[in-house]
Structures are given as C-alpha cells and as structure tokens.
Structure 1
Amino acid sequence: MTQPGSTPNRPRRGAGCLQSLLVLAVILGLGYGASKIFGDESSESKGSSSSSSSASDGKGGSWEIGDCGGPDPENKPDGYRAFDCDEQGATFKALKIEDASFLPNAIQCPAGTDLIIQVSRVFGSGDGKKGGGIPTNTVCGRNLTGDHPGDAGAGGGQLVEGDCVSATAKEIACASAGANDFKVLGLVKEKTECPAATTEPMQLMMAMGRPYDVICGGKV
C-alpha cells in the first residue's frame, strides 16, 4: 500500500465552544460468517473495544490526508485525539478522509487501512467522554509503525481484494489459509460480476450501505 505523503503540520486550533471529538468506530475488521447464504456478522478488529468513547482532538473538526493522531491518555480505552506527526503520542496517519455515516457498512476505506475512527462534533462545554456528538467525517488511518493488519492478506482491517476468507466467509490471514479457504478475487453486487477464476461466490445477507453483496472466492 502506498502511503500518502505527509502534509505540513498545521498550528493547533482552539476548539472554543465547538469541540471536535474522535470516536472509535465499531466498523473495523468486519467479518461475514454463516451458512450457505452468509449472515452479516459484524465483529471488531483485534485490539478494538465494543465501547465508543471519545476525546477532544483540538482540530475543530477539520481533518486532512496526512494528519496524525493517537490514543488519548485522558480518555481510555477507546478515546483518540490529534497529534502532530512527530509527537510521541502519534500512532497513525490519515490515509483518506470519508464523510461520516450513521450506517457503518457504508464506510469503505482503502486497502492498508489499519483503523477507522469517526470524528464527531459536540456543542457546548461537554468533553465527550461518554460519546455522542454529531458525526462530521471518518478517518481511515494507517499505523505509523510496521504493524499493518489492514494490508491485503494480513487478516485485519476491512475486507478487500487480496484478503483471504474461510469457508464461512470469515477473514483470516492468508499465511494461515488452508485447502478449504479462499482468496478474495472481488467484492461485487451480483455473482455474475465475479471474475472467471472465482470458484466460490459467497452470497451475503443484505446490509444497508455496504457496497457489495458477494465475495468472489478463489484458490489461495
């Protein structure tokens, strides 16, 4: 995955009466498991928590590609905040900025996305530590370290072409795939759209906002 170039660090902006909050979205590491028609079984990625806490990011709600952030020590375990990319607390860089959505399946980040964070804005003096706020956009983040579970085939992040899945459509690391597992050759709406090398088109149950309904599985 080619990582976008860094943008110059911008001066921190005071939040004033408007505070922008980072909320860990519960949409990372979506897995799809079931019987022959595969049910949509949303599960979080390794290291994520089911709670959705938040933390002030100090950016006034404006995020751009190349901006950095990291965990907020004052809002554990799921709070995140903005950091300059050279600060000690920075752990991820924004690969892409998407519009916010109340439908988690509608957010589709690019390959190489290690974590997905929803940015919300809270009016007034609340610190947002209990969540809430109005979603403004979504940050598709890539770790600054060498740990990249979102890379194609690594077994984490959102499902993308090049990933591997089990016979029940659950994402797995390609390095551990066996004879009964499949490589994702395409993510399409109809089985007829799968590429010719597809040996197992996996029909998923309907999920509002998701851009695909079929996983085109092929030989690993």
Structure 2
Amino acid sequence: MFALLGWRCAGALLVVFVGVSGCQKSSDPGSEPSGRQPSSPVSSGHGAVFLAVDECSSRGRETFTEVPCTSERAAARVVARYDGKVAQGRSCPARTDFVLHISEDRPSVDEDGNGEVPRGYACMRNLEEPHPGDPGGGGGPRTVVGDCVYSAREGEVRETACDGAGPKAPEYRVTVAVSQRSLCPAATELYVSLGGGKPVGCAVRV
C-alpha cells in the first residue's frame, strides 16, 4: 500500500504532510502484499457462486483455484466479493490481506451454467499467518489505524511493517481516524487518506 502527499485526487489514495498542499496521482493500491497483482482465479466447481463470501481458494504462483475450505490446499478465505473493477467499486474490509482480481472468463463450470464468470474482485484473508492486512502488518489493500508508513520519495509514502520486519523501516504510525484534519491530535505530523466515514488518518513519527 502506498500513497502520495496531498488530498485525494481523481480516486488516488493520498496522504498529506502538515503545511503541504496540492494533489499528485498514485497507482492502484488494490494488490497483493508483494505488490504484484494476483492472476485471475480458476473455477473448480465448488459452491453455487464462484468465490462467494466465506468460500476458499488455493494459492499458486499463477492461478488461484476455488477449493473447499476443509481442503489441505485451502490457503485463503473470501471476506467480501464485489462485481466490477476495484477502482470503481467498494473498498475491501480492513482485515483483507490481499485482493483477487477476477476477469471475465469461460470456465468449464460456473455459477449459472452459462460459461461465464463476471468481472469482479474478491477480498481475501489468509487462513494462517502472516496477515499483512492487520494493523501494523505492512500490507493489505487499505491503510488502517495502527499501520506504519515510510517516505518512498518526495511526495510519496508507502506502508511497511511496524515491527521493522519489512524491507523499509517505519517512519510514521497512524494513531487515529477522524472525519477532518482539524480533529487530529496536536502531535500529528502526517495526514493519511483512509476513505470511509473517517477518511483522515492522523499519524505521528515512530
């Protein structure tokens, strides 16, 4: 997860330093913790709807196959499932570890027998640790209270693990979410755009 200095512009995820204004674009944050978008899942015929909420997938290098959650191959569970594109749709729940982008396909088995799986995305939670989407975990598609970030370059920060286990050391931690910047504590040094009902994250140096 990464962001730029400034307020939200053109749907980008942004953050603001105190006293700094202006908007800059950021790339799509809906990706795997590794930063690489997962390949499209492959239907295996389990469940009435392909990768519906509470169903599970295996996790391979190129494909993610729907499997029973009791299978030894099951690696992650669907916590939310939406149609359309990530940039135009609803945000995944805060506990999401990664997002599966599901492209239109014609698998041999699908939910209604017409040979098509609608374009959409599934918000996934690993069945076992690690959970990069947890506060301070250093990943996931959303920045939440408890997450840490570092300065990637001028005007841009990225999320990293708060315990220092990531490739970059944390510089700021989001301590609280509020509806507007004026409600942040006086010690706030960085404002992070979180989205939702409380879109401003107040961050301090660590």
- Out of 44-53 and 108-117, give the one that drifted further: 44-53
The question of 1:69 aligning with 2:52 is answered no
User: Residues 61 and 202 of structure 1: is their aligned pair in 2 closer, same or farther, counting only changes over 3 Å?
Assistant: same
Report the Cα distance in structure 1 between the residues aligned to 2:73 and 2:28, rounded to whole angstroms.
Answer: 29
Shift of 1:67: 2.0
Deviation digits for residues 141-177 of structure 1 (CA, Å, limit 9, x no counterpart): 2112222111110101121111011244311111128
Report the Cα distance in structure 2 between the residues aligned to 1:45 and 1:124, rounded to whole angstroms.
Answer: 24
Report the Cα distance in structure 1 between the residues aligned to 2:189 and 2:50, rounded to whole angstroms.
Answer: 43
Shift of 1:50: 4.2
Shift of 1:126: 9.5
In the superposition, the TM-score normalised over structure 1's length comes to: 0.61
Q: Partner residue of 1:33?
A: 4
Q: Partner residue of 2:14?
A: none
Q: Does the Cα contact within 8 Å between 1:61 and 1:121 map onto a contact in 2?
A: no
Q: Partner residue of 1:196?
A: 185
Report the Cα distance in structure 1 between the residues aligned to 2:51 and 2:40, rounded to whole angstroms.
Answer: 19
Of residues 91, 109, 116 in structure 1, which corresponds to 2:75? 91
Q: Does the Cα contact within 8 Å between 1:32 and 1:42 map onto a contact in 2?
A: no
Q: Does the Cα contact within 8 Å between 2:104 and 2:118 map onto a contact in 1?
A: yes
User: Residues 103 and 66 of structure 1: is their aligned pair in 2 closer, same or farther, counting only changes over 3 Å?
Assistant: closer
Secondary structure of the structure 1 residue equivalent to 2:202: strand
Q: Which amino acid aligns with 2:171?
A: D
The question of 1:112 aligning with 2:99 is answered no
Task: State the Cα RMSD in Å.
Answer: 3.6
Report the Cα distance in structure 2 between the residues aligned to 1:118 and 1:182, rounded to whole angstroms.
Answer: 30
Of residues 146, 151, 158 in structure 1, which corresponds to 2:129? 146
Q: Among the aligned pairs, what percent are the same residue? A: 25
Q: Partner residue of 2:150?
A: 166
Q: Partner residue of 1:45?
A: 32
In the superposition, the TM-score normalised over structure 2's length comes to: 0.64
Q: Does the Cα contact within 8 Å between 2:52 and 2:81 map onto a contact in 1?
A: no
Aligned residue runs from structure 1 range 173-192, under 5 A = 173-176=161-164, 181-186=171-176, 190-192=180-182
The question of 1:100 aligning with 2:83 is answered yes
Secondary structure of the structure 2 residue equivalent to 1:139: strand
- List runs of 5+ in structure 1 lacking aligned partners: 1-29, 205-209
Shift of 1:87: 0.9
Of residues 54, 64, 69 in structure 1, which corresponds to 2:41? 54
Q: Does the Cα contact within 8 Å between 2:150 and 2:172 map onto a contact in 1?
A: yes
Q: Which amino acid aligns with 2:188?
A: T
Equivalenced residues, count: 174
Shift of 1:45: 3.4
Shift of 1:200: 2.4
User: Residues 101 and 109 of structure 1: is their aligned pair in 2 closer, same or farther, counting only changes over 3 Å?
Assistant: same
Report the Cα distance in structure 2 between the residues aligned to 1:118 and 1:51, rounded to whole angstroms.
Answer: 7
